[in-house]
Amino acid sequence: MRLWVCTGLLTAFSGFLTAQSPDESWHHYNADFGVGPAIPLGNSTNYFSTAPLVVVGFGYRLNRWFQADVGAQFAFGAANNQNLEESALGPVQGGDHEFMIPMGGRVFIPTRFEKFEVSAGAGVAYLHYSETVPSNYYVANQCYSCTARDGWGAYGLANVNYFLDSNRNFSVGTTLQYIIGHTSGPPVGAIPGLKTTDHWLNLMFDFGVSFK
């Protein structure tokens, strides 16, 4: 009797392991590249404006349902820096860059469509804003009067991908991301030189590459 019970338990356990075994339809390594607008919200519109955004991201998928994420996002000119900056090439019209570094994870949501993948995620984000000066094609132009500020915050996102091939190696998709964070430091462009609470709504159009 005990033998039959043990055999039944082992069979059930092995069946559970088989059910939880990796699904060949997903890949461990996932990289994406995207562009879109970085849109300030709320009081942030007092010193930011909508700006072009370039995104690079990497995810390691732990299993069928969960993935760890890290990325680098670059907005250009959102702080409307109109100052004359002192540089190695003399006084020049300044610009500004806004860097956002999200670090977190996501969960995948089951769908009935084989070629679509839906996910939602959250995590922390490091924010760094800096004034910049243009460079020519031959030498880097060092800025002597450019300022910078930074801080930390959090983000949440929703993503939809469509796979272009049956092996699910290539995809296109859309990501909507909301970031809220606090930054402090000297003024950068139109940003005042005090602690601010910044709100961003980033819309990214992505191209993804996935592999084992």
User: Which sequence spans correspond to the domains of the chain?
Assistant: 27-211
Tens digits of per-residue pLDDT, 138-176?
778 899 999 999 999 999 999 999 999 999 999 999 999
Q: Taking all residues of the chain, what is their mean pLDDT, rounded to a whole number?
A: 89
One-letter identity of residue 172: V
Q: Report d(CA 33, CA 193) in Å as an integer.
A: 33
Which of 25 and 38 is assigned the larger pLDDT? 38
Q: Environment class of residue 54 by beta-carbon count within 10 Å: exposed (0-12), middle (13-18) or buried (19+)?
A: middle
Which of 13 and 59 is assigned the larger pLDDT? 59
Range 55-81 burial, b when 16+ CB lie within 10 A, else e: bebebebeeeeebebebebebebbbeb
**pLDDT category, 135, cuts 50, 70, 90?**
confident
> Torsions phi, psi of 201, nearest 5?
-120, 110
What's 27-211's CATH class?
Answer: mainly beta
Alpha carbon dihedral 208, 23, 65, 180, in 10-degree steps, equals: -10
Q: What is the mean pLDDT of residues 194-211?
A: 97
Q: What percent of the chain has pLDDT above 90?
A: 80
Q: Would you state the pLDDT for residue 92?
A: 92
